[in-house]
């Protein structure tokens, strides 16, 4: 099947490669000429484990090609919209790019199409896209059949390609039997994972899923604050909770809060969707409030424990919002660095992938080539992202490098037997 994917960002490139590996002929469409040139050379603008290697394989086999021109959709029966929907100032999803693409599709399509919305969009966006395309077709004086499909993505950064190729479920919102058959052909390798529903249900499932996972994280973090007050260990508490199959262990780990391109944006967007519908999302607002204050709560503990931050050297290990990605969007590390610099601390930092992006925001931080260099002469160490080379570094060697052996583990990931001689402070646990 010939498939056009519009928007070569994180989702678009991942889906293009996944569909190509499934045997489809993929046409990636992107208005940014430099990005197209980079992709044609097999180079990705993002870091995602295994994705670049597979892209190069598909380029060699000519299973994938790229174009700046929307007219490339006319070689395809399926057109997938994967452009960004950034947050507006009020938290609503900005549909500017989606609407522009819809208009361009209406202006250029010459034959029947299935328009698949992969971008994360509010409920009712499918209707908006249909109206825009209909309007453009009427202006042209042509009658070309098409159908709008909602097919949200559930890709986790750091393992996006694995998720695309081995999904838990593929949610598809459509109305006609012919569209269902086409989507079954598109995802023939995962036919047992398909869940068909309405377009509006599908649009809401995406937001509801991310908001629920964010709720689990914030619940664990608020419980961690209580654990410190009553002398409990949050790690043991959540482990005991997670043994209940109705609860499960995933996304129940306490830490310094969620970040990234999805959870914060999608939580805000769902709050605004509720507001527009006259629904007071009390629970979801509390989830957001906990996350917004979690880093400050953690840093207050840091400042109190080491009796002030001015002129103290603090090493921050991990800058991306999670390991195995170069994405720093909404990373708790941004708030950590900002707080430390505001308090006049001397800050060193290490991350295997996130330094270039963070340097543009905080040029006054000293960035190191490895974690041991970062902790040299530090008065305290903050672990902000659980990269394997940070968690498993030589903590005995680090002990000999620091001025004060104090570790604030923002992810509760370093095992106690590795920390002989350290004063350890986690989230919801304090063991010295």
211-223 per-position pLDDT tens digit: 999 999 999 999 9
CA distances in angstroms from 331 to 256, 264, 319, 382, listed in the order given? 10, 10, 7, 14
Sheet hosting strand 366-367, strand order edge to edge = 366-367, 346-350, 313-317, 380-383, 406-409, 423-425, 430-431
Instruction: Give the Cβ contact number of residue 23 at 10 Å.
Output: 10
The mean pLDDT of 62-71, rounded to a whole number, is: 95
318 and 284 belong to one structural domain: yes
Note whether 181 and 291 are same-domain residues: no
In this structure, the answer to whether residues 274 and 376 fall within a common structural domain is: yes
Q: In CATH, what number is assigned to the domain containing residue 89?
A: 3.40.50.720
User: 430: pLDDT confidence band, cut at 50, 70 and 90?
Assistant: low
> Are 182 and 252 found together in one domain?
no
Q: How many domains are contained in the chain?
A: 2
What number of other Cβ atoms are within 10 A of residue 378's Cβ? Answer: 25
Could you give the C-alpha distances from 325 to 355, 357, 368, in angstroms and in order? 12, 12, 18
Instruction: Supply the pLDDT for residue 49.
Output: 87
pTM, two decimal places: 0.91
- Quick: pLDDT tens for 251-277: 999 999 999 888 999 999 999 999 999
> Whose CA is closest to 371, among 390, 356, 355, 388?
390
d(CA 55, CA 61): 10
Q: Are residues 299 and 395 in the same domain?
A: yes
> Could you count the other beta carbons within 10 Å of the beta carbon of residue 145?
10
- Indicate the residue among 148, 170, 197 that finishes a domain: 197
| pLDDT tens by residue, 386-414 | 999 999 999 999 999 999 999 999 999 99
Q: How confident is the model at residue 374 (pLDDT cuts 50, 70, 90)?
A: very high
> Among the three residues 197, 230, 247, which one is the final residue of a domain in this structure?
197
CB atoms within 10 A of CB 176: 11
Q: How far is CA 378 from CA 74, 179, 334, 362, in A?
A: 60, 60, 19, 19
Q: Is residue 97 domain-shared with residue 226, that is, in the same domain? A: no
Q: What pLDDT, on the 0 to 100 scale, is given for residue 45?
A: 83
Q: pLDDT confidence of 46, banded at 50, 70, 90?
A: confident
Mean pLDDT of 278-306: 95
Owning domain of residue 46: 2-197
Q: Which tens digits make up the pLDDT trace of 312-347?
A: 999 999 999 999 999 999 999 999 999 999 999 999
Looking at residue 5, its pLDDT comes to 98
Q: For residues 122 and 261, state if they share a domain.
A: no
Count other C-beta atoms under 10 Å from residue 97's C-beta.
Answer: 19
314 plus 349 within the same structural domain? yes
pLDDT over 70 (residue 432): no
Q: Coil, strand, or helix at residue 120?
A: coil
Average pLDDT, the chain: 95
Catalytic site positions: 262
Give which of 355, 350, 349 is closest to 327, Cα–Cα: 355
Query: Pick from 146, 151, 129, 131: which is nearest to 198 by CA?
Result: 151
Q: How many CB atoms within 10 Å of residue 185?
A: 13
How does DSSP classify residue 189? G
Q: Is the pLDDT reported for residue 89 higher than 90?
A: no
Q: Are 128 and 114 in contact (CB under 8 A)?
A: no
Average pLDDT over residues 90-101: 94
Whether residue 55 is found in the same domain as residue 155 = yes
Q: Residues 413, 361: contact at Cβ < 8 Å?
A: no
Average pLDDT on 1-27 reads 96
- Show Cβ contacts of residue 363 under 8 Å, excluding neighbours closer than 6 positions: none
Residues 47 and 165 in one domain: yes
Helix (H) or strand (E) holding 263: helix 263-276
One domain for residues 179 and 249: no
Confidence label for 300 from pLDDT (cuts 50, 70 and 90)? very high
Q: Which of 298, 281, 290 is nearest to 218 (CA)?
A: 290
- The mean per-residue pLDDT over the stretch 237-245 comes to 95
3-state secondary structure of 298: helix
Judgement on whether residues 282 and 169 belong to the same structural domain of the protein: no
User: Which pLDDT score is estimated for 431?
Assistant: 58
Q: Which of 197, 225, 245 is the last residue of a domain?
A: 197
What is the distance between the alpha carbons of residues 120 and 274, in angstroms, rounded to a whole number?
16
184-190 average pLDDT score: 96
């Amino acid at each position: 099947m010939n498939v056009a994917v519009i928007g070569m960002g994180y989702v678009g490139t991942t889906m293009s490669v996944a569909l190509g590996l499934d045997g489809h002929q993929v046409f990636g469409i992107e208005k940014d000429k430099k990005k197209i040139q980079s992709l044609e050379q097999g180079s990705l603008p993002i870091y995602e484990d295994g994705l670049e290697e597979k892209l190069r394989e598909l380029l060699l086999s000519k299973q994938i090609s790229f174009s700046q021109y929307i007219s490339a959709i006319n070689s395809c029966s399926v057109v997938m919209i994967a452009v960004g929907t950034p947050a507006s100032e009020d938290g609503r999803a900005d549909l500017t790019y989606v609407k522009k693409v819809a208009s361009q599709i209406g202006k250029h399509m010459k034959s029947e199409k299935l328009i698949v919305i992969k971008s994360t969009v509010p409920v009712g966006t499918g209707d908006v896209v249909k109206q825009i395309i209909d309007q453009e077709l009427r202006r042209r004086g042509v009658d070309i059949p098409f159908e709008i499909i909602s097919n949200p993505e559930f890709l986790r950064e750091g393992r996006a390609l694995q998720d695309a190729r081995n999904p838990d479920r593929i949610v598809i919102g459509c109305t006609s039997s012919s569209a269902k058959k086409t989507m079954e052909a598109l995802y023939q390798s995962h036919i047992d994972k398909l869940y068909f529903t309405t377009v509006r249900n599908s649009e809401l499932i995406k937001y509801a899923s991310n908001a629920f996972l964010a709720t689990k994280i914030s619940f664990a973090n608020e419980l961690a604050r209580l654990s410190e007050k009553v002398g409990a260990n949050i790690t043991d508490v959540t482990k005991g909770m997670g043994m209940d199959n109705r609860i499960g262990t995933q996304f129940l780990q306490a830490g310094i809060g969620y970040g990234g391109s999805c959870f914060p944006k999608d939580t805000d967007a769902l709050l605004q969707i509720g507001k527009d519908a006259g629904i007071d999302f009390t629970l979801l607002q509390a989830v957001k409030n906990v996350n917004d204050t979690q880093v400050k709560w953690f840093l207050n503990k840091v400042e109190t424990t080491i009796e002030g931050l001015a002129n103290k050297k603090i090493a921050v290990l991990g800058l991306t919002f999670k390991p195995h990605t170069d994405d720093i969007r909404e990373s708790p590390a941004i708030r950590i660095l900002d707080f430390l610099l505001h308090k006049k601390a001397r800050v060193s930092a290490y991350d295997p992938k996130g330094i270039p992006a963070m340097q543009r925001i905080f040029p006054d931080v000293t960035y190191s080539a490895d974690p041991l260099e970062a902790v040299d002469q530090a008065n305290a160490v903050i672990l902000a992202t659980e990269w394997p080379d940070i968690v498993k570094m030589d903590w005995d060697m680090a002990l000999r490098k620091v001025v004060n052996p104090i570790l604030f583990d923002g992810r509760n990931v370093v095992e106690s037997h590795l920390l002989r001689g350290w004063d350890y402070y986690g989230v919801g646990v304090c063991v010295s």
